[in-house]
Structure 1
Amino acid sequence: MVALETSHPFVFVLMWKLLTYFVDTGQGFEVVERDYEIPISADTFLHGPLVDWGMNDYLEIGQRADGIESRSLLTFDIGQFMLESQWGQEDRYPNINQSTILRTSLSLSCTNIENAGSTDPFERNFQDTLHVGRLLVPWEEDVATSVVRANGGQFWEVENVGTDGTDATASVASASVDITYAACQEGASVSFDITDTLLSWINGSSPNYGLVIWAEDAMLTRKWIKFVSSGSHDVVNHPVLAVTIQDTLVTTPGEYSFQNNIFVNFHKINIRPS
């Protein structure tokens, strides 16, 4: 069970000190890509004010037969990713010139489709637009309900998470979903591009309290979709952030000059964390 808060403030200081890069004055360059997966660190879903669902093996989004909307909360600890991506590749790439995050994809694996109007699962499908917002306040996996977000009487400003800048931002990423029960059982998944969100966590312009996911038309139809959660034994299909970093490498000798780097991303440094 995890209490969420921003971490690794020293990383941001180091990054700001490294806003320089080598300019090509005759040397050759090579472009390579590195892929990382950031595992989930906490997740739950909200369904009503009385029960916390953090121990379940699934996440839920949509509207159940009881007419109550479900929304999912997730967070990812980017600390280890920061260490590995900044310092872990120096031996392989000792001549990194510039690095940029190309893309960051949040992936959720479907585990079930529910429909209040159908008893035959193979007649069920889930059609809606799912939205992702950045959470602006901390929450706790084993406490959070549609009313309470953390121990000590900490409540959501708006019930079921306000996505108007109170508890969370408005949508920062979305995906049109059209999944049948059969496709879900065959391993269908949903992905969101949250590159800008990861960069905001890294450069400190927004706190890393995680994400909230909701269905745009949740209250219009009594359909809901379930995704594999971190509580599932199906570890391979846990929620994950897949990150691709592109490095520009100096491949031939040459003179170097420095100029300001406008990108606040990842750069090779020779300082190892204590």
Structure 2
Amino acid sequence: MGTCSALNCNNRSDGKPLSDGTKVRMFRFPADPVRRKKWLINMRRRHFAPRKYSALCQVHFEITQFELRRADGKKKLKLNAVPTIFDHTGSSTYTAEKPRIRSSSKQLKTDLRDPDYVKIKRRLSRRKTARKQKKESMEVETPIVKLEPVPDDGALPISDASKNNLNVQTLELVEILDTGIHKQSSICENCELLKNENISLTNDSEVLKKENETLNTENGKLKNEVSVLQKQLMFLDLALKEYLNEEQQKLFHVIAKTVEYEWEDD
């Protein structure tokens, strides 16, 4: 519906939402002449004649002027709602006169003497002056740079102080480069030492792997020999049980553990 028709109010239906985040709702002037006149009297806008799409926003109505607990959740005015909340700064009492049409020089002179028109003109003039002062304060003077003449050979002139500064900066850069080169060379030497150590450790690891394989082979051989000896002992034990009684077997075991004894043929 456009802008609100009330004085000192810039709310729009498609503009900035309210503080609670809801969209501003606009309400057209009532068709009933009695209610319409009440609205105009409370607005206090001189020589204002509402048109077809003129409206007031919801800010100018008290909460009691809206219907409560609607099913669709929208705000709707009561049938006898009247706006009562206005900012009447710079306003005058409402009169039911028709708006003036500036169609002649005489009418224009009359409007220029209107207090409301004078106030608005003064306000616009003050704003224009403030914007001009702000623009002038933001302007920065461009410094004037004096350029020295270029010699005929095309080389730019360099002062002695600039030469000294260039020499000092060059020496500092050379020192920094030398320090970086020395650090890089020392890092490379350390890298070579680490590579050699890695190679020697790799060789030692290969040798240890081969020794481990040899020990595993010998360990397998020894296990085989132990297994053979265990079998021979079992065979001898069975043979002793066949040819000796229990007392002779006990005596044989005792003597074999303590004294080296050789059996006779008998």
TM-score bin, normalised by smaller chain: under 0.3
Going by fraction, where is strand more abundant, 1 or 2? 1
Larger relative CO (CA 8 A, sep 6+): 1 or 2? 1
TM-score (norm 1): 0.17
TM-score (norm 2): 0.18
Going by fraction, where is helix more abundant, 1 or 2? 2
Which structure has the larger Rg over C-alpha atoms? 2
